[in-house]
Amino acid sequence: MKKSIISVFLIVLIFVFAVSGNSTYLSVSEEKEFSENPYGDMSAVDASVAVDAQLMTYAKSVVLMEKSTGKVLYSENENEKLYPASVTKIMTILLVCEAIESGKMKLSDTVSCSANASSKGGSQIWLEPGETMTVEELLKATCVYSANDACTLLGEYVAGSEPAFNELMNTRAAELGMTNTHFDNCTGLDDTTDTHLTTAYDVALMSRELLKHDFIKEYTTIWMDSLRGGETQLVNTNKLIRSYDGITGLKTGTTEKAGCCVSATAKRNNMELIAVVMGSENSNDRFNSAENLLDWGFANYEIYSPSVESNSVGNIKVLFGKTDYVGVKIPPMSPILINKGASGNITVDAEITDSVTAPVEENQIVGKIVVRNGDNILSEYDISVSEPVKKLTFFDAFYKLLTSFSK
């Protein structure tokens, strides 16, 4: 009996300590130490690969961007405002993709051609007023053949009219941070405008956004196809489609004002690059410039994807909690752009507390994942608990004591 009284006294003391005690780690309100970059930008390990001489490019402006990080690897005059010609259609295609994936329209929808769409000059598939085609056929004509009539009809179908679609294009451009861009139309025709302008950097931004819609590559990688039961032949205006290893698109453009332009995208292993070339004197110059940019990017950079498995971290002991242990959540980690061959220098470490004192709050931070290149910290990610844990009450403690006696 004496032993039981002493045990109850001890458990009461433990409970009092638990009530007054502080957590041995961070509460949600104190988590700043480990949350400076919980899901932040994964910067390049070293994006300053030495270039002994300028890359051989033949254009007024160029940009080479890595898709997953948005890192610009190389640029010349990237913010110079220039006419984009049919590279404009990247924005048109993006808005069509977004309308499809949001459920606003379907690839199988049938669209009747307007007089306005059929009147467009330049590259076209000679749509007649009242002629019908599916959204998929119009998208194919736009991506492959750069058809102005098909492109205009798609814009009208998305927004109700060409002017409304133009407004939508400029709104979306602003949302993407395309601060040096203004669109006057969805085709890139520039005979009657001096204000339809963009930059190589802005084109890279909208190209990157379009590549998030992976299904579009089914159309941007077509070399030859046809419409109207084989009567209308389509040949891709991007000759890199049939010659460059890993090519995924994306869009060419040519007018007298713009010169020859291209946004060329390619993927090798798990890295996708965007090479924008604007204002080349001829078609060969734009494609050679794009190839040189892509070749240089693939030769000098690669993507490293850090990872830590939750089961490799294990559970954390909970002091004075209703449960003795709590699991952890490992956050998703973004890919990192690194110099080619530098992956052997990268380490991914999970730094986590041994125990935490109840109450444990929902999403309480209990550690961090640190990605390093040698001594250089590239990024940090918070590790949090998988579930909250309530503090042990006096009655919980007393029940545990009684249970232990019954064993």
3-state per-residue secondary structure call for the chain? CHHHHHHHHHHHHHHHHHHHCCCCCCCHHHHHHHCCCCCCCCCCCCCCCCCCCCCCCCCCEEEEEECCCCCEEEEECCCCCECCHHHHHHHHHHHHHHHHHCCCCCCCCEEECCHHHHCCCCCCCCCCCCCEEEHHHHHHHHHHHCCHHHHHHHHHHHHCCHHHHHHHHHHHHHHCCCCCCECCCCCCCCCCCCCCEECHHHHHHHHHHHCCCHHHHHHHCCCEEEEHHHCEEEECCCHHHHCCCCEEEEEEEEECCCEEEEEEEEEECCEEEEEEEEEECCHHHHHHHHHHHHHHHHHHEEEECCCCCHHHHCCEEEECECCCEECEECCCCCCEEEECCCHHHEEEEEEECCEEECCECCCCEEEEEEEEECCEEEEEEEEEECCCECECCHHHHHHHHHHHHHC
Domains within the chain, CATH numbers bracketed? 22-45+306-393 (2.60.410.10), 61-280 (3.40.710.10)
Q: Which residue has the higher pLDDT, 378 or 77?
A: 77
Q: What is the pLDDT of residue 13?
A: 45
Q: What is the pLDDT of residue 401?
A: 66
Region 299-307 average pLDDT: 93
Region 110-136 average pLDDT: 97
Q: Which residue has the higher pLDDT, 329 or 1?
A: 329
Binned at pLDDT 50, 70 and 90, residue 27 comes out as very low
Q: What is the pLDDT of residue 46?
A: 47
Q: Which range (41-50, 232-241, 264-273, 319-328) has the least confidence?
A: 41-50
Q: What is the pLDDT of residue 253?
A: 98
Give yes or no: 86 in active site.
yes
Instruction: Indicate which residue of 89, 217, 368, 391 is catalytic.
Output: 89
Give yes or no: 89 in active site.
yes
Q: Which range (33-37, 216-220, 288-292) has the least confidence?
A: 33-37
Region 89-108 average pLDDT: 98
* 33 pLDDT above the threshold of 70: no
Region 380-398 average pLDDT: 84
Q: What is the pLDDT of residue 271?
A: 97
Binned at pLDDT 50, 70 and 90, residue 400 comes out as low
Region 196-219 average pLDDT: 98
Q: What is the pLDDT of residue 407?
A: 57
Give yes or no: 343 in active site.
no
Q: What is the pLDDT of residue 396?
A: 66
Share of the chain above pLDDT 70, in %: 83
Region 348-371 average pLDDT: 92
Q: What is the pLDDT of residue 313?
A: 78
pLDDT in tens, 227-263: 999 999 999 999 999 999 999 999 999 999 999 999 9
Q: What is the pLDDT of residue 309?
A: 74
pLDDT in tens, 136-164: 999 999 999 999 999 999 999 999 999 99
Instruction: Indicate which residue of 35, 146, 289, 379 is catalytic.
Output: 146
Mean pLDDT value across the chain: 87
Q: What is the pLDDT of residue 156?
A: 98
* 63 pLDDT above the threshold of 70: yes
Instruction: Indicate which residue of 86, 263, 289, 384 is catalytic.
Output: 86
Q: What is the pLDDT of residue 26?
A: 33
